[in-house]
Structure 1
């Protein structure tokens, strides 16, 4: 599902104007990006946690040439799914999971 499809689905299910929904989705994503850029996590109860991480410099290999290269240190983000979300996914599939 793309961002546009998500906005359209929310607009239909919540009976909102499409333009308002696009603005809301864009706003939510912008706030998540800005918060992670500050180095703070974004916790959405019942869904999961976006956590900023620091990646260290490391050696790698260029796939095309086979020559060694160095990947510089950078920031990234990881997402950890909440236990409630995992349970609901598996409940829909008819499976019982202990988390």
Structure 2
């Protein structure tokens, strides 16, 4: 499902114009990104958590040059679904 499909579905369910829904969805995503850029996790009860995970420094290999490289420590964004979200997916989704 794409962002446009999400906007269309919300617009159909609520009767709000697609332009207003798009602006709301964009503002929601910007809020999550800004919070995470500032080092904060975002918790949406019943849906899940957007968290920052820390990756430690590690040694990697450049296989084309056959050399060792150091991959520095860094942070990555991650999503952890809530238990109720996971359970609903387990019971309702059929594997294709």
TM-score, reference length from structure 1: 0.79
Mark the CA change 1:66 to 1:11 in structure 2 (over 3 Å): closer, same or farther.
Answer: farther
User: What is the alpha-carbon distance in structure 2 between the residues aligned to residue 31 and residue 78 of structure 1?
Assistant: 15
Question: Aligned pair in 2 of structure 1 residues 55, 92: CA closer, same or farther (>3 Å)?
Answer: same
Which range moves more in the overlay, 23-32 or 54-63? 54-63
> What secondary structure is seen at the aligned counterpart in 1 of 2:52?
strand
Quick one: structure 1 residues 93 and 74, their matched pair in 2 at CA, closer, same or farther if it must change by over 3 Å?
closer
Task: Name the residue aligned to 2:71.
Answer: 71
- Paired residue secondary structure (2:39): coil
Q: Give the match's secondary structure for 1:40.
A: coil
1:44-70 deviations in Å (ceiling 9; x for gaps):
111111111222222212354443222
RMSD: 1.9
Find out whether 1:86 has 2:86 as its counterpart: yes
Distance 2:8 2:63 in 1: 39
TM-score by length of 2: 0.81
Residues paired across the two proteins, number: 94
What secondary structure, in the 3-state scheme, does the structure 2 residue paired with 1:77 have? strand
TM-superposition CA deviations, 1:17-51 (whole Å, max 9, x none): 11111111111111101111121111111111111
Uncovered stretches (5+) of structure 2, i.e. residues with no partner? none
In structure 1, list runs of 5 or more residues that go unmatched: 95-99
Equivalent residues of 1:50, 1:79 under 8 A apart: yes
Q: Please list every run of at least 4 consecutive aligned residues from structure 1 whose deviation after the TM superposition is greater than 6 angstroms.
A: none
